[in-house]
Chain A
Amino acid sequence: QVQLQQWGAGLLKPSETLSLTCTVSGDSVRSYYWSWIRQPPGKGLEWIAYVYYSGSTNHNPSLKSRVTTSVDRSKNQFSLNLSSVTAADTAVYYCARGQRGPHDYDWGTYRYNWFDPWGQGTLVIVSS
């Protein structure tokens, strides 16, 4: 059974850097798209970024260049850094394993993705 265990600082001041790490057990980070998703209090889910085991990444353009993600294959972990945080970054942050459906040759690409399992979530509060 695949499990994700995440940790990191839960209280930050404005302009500091959010750092979270997620350890994968029951699977290897040498596959899949390891992802970060957040949820502001009382609001919906927002995709932040994903990182592939090779190190290639993709992130939500709304977060501009503040996001950095990485994979540590030796520790079977992946991490998120979000710089220059503000109160708007207050949220529960989740790590998750991202998967893609098979290549659809008629469409020339995969046609769906999903996230499973998810970490337990980390509430990060940004306050002065």
Chain B
Amino acid sequence: SSELTQDPAVSVALGQTVRITCQGDSLRSYYASWYQQKPGQAPVIVIFGKNNRPSGIPDRFSGSSSGNTASLIITGAQAEDEADYYCNSRDIKNDHVLFGGGTKLTVL
């Protein structure tokens, strides 16, 4: 199906590592990109493609992929990482764009 599925909420202790996942058939063929969105702000790209990090994004953010699952990994989560995270990919059948439903990350 042409959908991307994310866990609605994930929590992590300050300084620990957290994995946010995104599942979908399209991810068997295509890579996910990841966005961070804080309240009242537009989304910001944090990882695109296999594991590309835009300038200005801390190196504690990384991406990985296996089978139909893509992951955003935050190694040593900080308080400022508390946000909503969205994955996106292209549709497996055409050039349409897919977004996951989003994951709310809480840093404890």
Query: Which of A98, A99, A111, A120 neighbours the largest number of chain B CB atoms within 10 Å of its CB?
Result: A111
Chain B 15-33 interface mask (CB, 8 Å, partner A; 1/0): 0000000000000011111
Q: Give the residues in chain B near A37, CB-CB below 8 Å.
A: 99
Can you list 8 contacts pairing A with B, beta carbon distance less than 8 Å?
A: A45-B102, A58-B95, A94-B43, A99-B48, A111-B30, A112-B50, A112-B89, A118-B42
Complex alpha-carbon distance, A30 and B18, angstroms:
39
Tell me whether chain B's interface is mostly helix, strand or loop, or mixed: loop
Please tell me the number of chain A residues within 8 Å of chain B, measured between CB atoms.
Answer: 26
Determine if B86 is an interface residue (Cβ-Cβ < 8 Å): yes
Do A111 and B31 contact each other (CB < 8 Å), given the known contacts A94-B42, A121-B42?
yes
Complex alpha-carbon distance, A13 and B57, angstroms:
41
Instruction: Decide if B42 touches A119 in the complex (CB within 8 Å).
Output: yes
Would you give the shortest CB distance from A56 to chain B, in whole angstroms?
10
**Which residues of chain A in 14-71 are interfacial with respect to chain B, using CB atoms and an 8 Å cutoff?**
35, 37, 44-47, 50, 58, 60-61
Do A101 and B31 contact each other (CB < 8 Å), given the known contacts A45-B86, A112-B48?
yes
Chain A 56-99 interface mask (CB, 8 Å, partner B; 1/0): 00101100000000000000000000000000000000100011
Complex alpha-carbon distance, A115 and B98, angstroms:
12
Instruction: Decide if A46 touches B99 in the complex (CB within 8 Å).
Output: yes
Would you give the shortest CB distance from A19 to chain B, in whole angstroms?
20
Q: Give the residues in chain B near A45, CB-CB below 8 Å.
A: 35, 43, 86, 88, 99, 102
Complex alpha-carbon distance, A98 and B90, angstroms:
12
Q: Give the residues in chain B near A111, CB-CB below 8 Å.
A: 29-31, 49
Q: Give the residues in chain A near B45, CB-CB below 8 Å.
A: 114-116
Q: Give the residues in chain A near B97, CB-CB below 8 Å.
A: 35, 47, 50, 60, 98, 113
